[in-house]
Amino acid sequence: RKEVEQDPGPFNVPEGATVAFNCTYSNSASQSFFWYRQDCRKEPKLLMSVYSSGNEDGRFTAQLNRASQYISLLIRDSKLSDSATYLCAVNNNAGNMLTFGGGTRLMVKP
C-alpha cells in the first residue's frame, strides 16, 4: 500500500460545479497535511494547509479525518482556471519529510 494515495482522475466538471477530492495516508503518526496545486510543467504551489478543525479559503475547503486517515479538498463554484493537478502532501514529522500523493487531475470545462 502506498503511503499517500489519491484518485488520479481526471475529474471533468462544468464551470460552477462543486468537486471534492480525497487523499488517504497510511502513517497514523503523520502530523501535518497540505494541498498543493500544480499546473502543467510548473512547480507545485501551496494551496492550503489542512488543520484538524478544517479550514476554508474562499471557494476552497480542506478537512482532516484522523480516525479514517484521510484529508479532503472541496472546490465550490469551479472556474476554468482551477484546471490543474492537485497534490496532497503529508508530513511524517521525521525531519519535515513530505510525502506526496500521486495527484488528482481536474479539468473544468466551459
In this complex, which beta carbon is closest to other proteins, that of residue 12 or of residue 52? 52
Residues that bind other proteins (CB under 8 A): 31-32, 34, 41-46, 49, 87, 89, 91, 93, 95-103
Amino acid, res. 64: L
Among 45, 13, 21, 26, which Cα is nearest to 103's? Answer: 21
Amino acid, res. 8: P
> At its nearest, how many Å lie between other proteins and the CB of residue 30?
10
> At its nearest, how many Å lie between other proteins and the CB of residue 107?
15
3-state secondary structure of 46: strand
* 82: phi then psi, degrees, rounded to nearest 5: -80, -10
In this complex, which beta carbon is closest to other proteins, that of residue 94 or of residue 110? 94
> At its nearest, how many Å lie between other proteins and the CB of residue 16?
28
